[in-house]
Amino acid sequence: MSTETERKIRFEKLAREYSTDLYRYAMWICGNDALSKDLVQETFLRAWKAIDSLQSEKAAKSWLITILRREYARTFERKVPPLTDIDGVVIADEDELDPEDRLERKLLRKGMASLPKKYREPILLQVVMGYSCKEISEQLGVSKSAVMTQLFRAREMLKSKLQEDGVTGNVHELF
């Protein structure tokens, strides 16, 4: 196998394995389907160019998320993207939720979107992407204890917001 063939195989594996996660994360941070798809495409373009710098397959997901976050930040350098109300964004679920669960999910998304960026990013990385505190710490370039504090405060803010919005069930079960 040639070096170019190995690079292609390695890249295709990354694309297959992480494209859905990248798209989901992009939707959470920007709330726009077209921009999310563009971000994922740009992420993979940059990943292809730098695939040789990826030292470990275990670090691939974090590496790709970092590229995506930086690419999203670049969109603000180029132009200001139109804002989209994420309440209207529909992400297909495998199982259909009953109306009460849909309302709770909508209120949770609205609450998460309303958090200050300092608290929104860590909670999204944990809840949506399934990252550990250590991985979030590496992604955001802050200490693990800072991440734990931010996650705690984000949850407290969300609990308060959800209770204000009338979510009467066990708020702890939502996240």
Of 46, 78, 110, the one marking the end of a domain is 78
CATH of the domain at 167: 1.10.10.10
Find where tokens 């200050």 sit.
116
Query: Are 63 and 123 in a shared domain?
Result: no
Is residue 20 in some structural domain?
yes
What's the pLDDT at 94?
53
pTM for the model stands at 0.55
Is residue 123 in some structural domain?
yes
Residues of the chain above pLDDT 90, percent: 31
Give the residue with greater pLDDT, 113 vs 166.
113
Is residue 53 in some structural domain?
yes
Residue 152 sits at the vertex; the CA angle it makes with 86 and 28, to the nearest 5 degrees, is 20
Is residue 155 in some structural domain?
yes
Judge contact between 123 and 158, C-beta under 8 A. yes
Query: Are 102 and 74 in a shared domain?
Result: no
| 16-57 pLDDT per residue, tens | 999 999 999 999 888 889 999 999 999 999 999 988 888 888
What's the pLDDT at 6?
85
| 100-115 pLDDT per residue, tens | 777 777 777 888 888 8
The whole domain housing 161 covers 98-174
Number of domains in the chain: 2
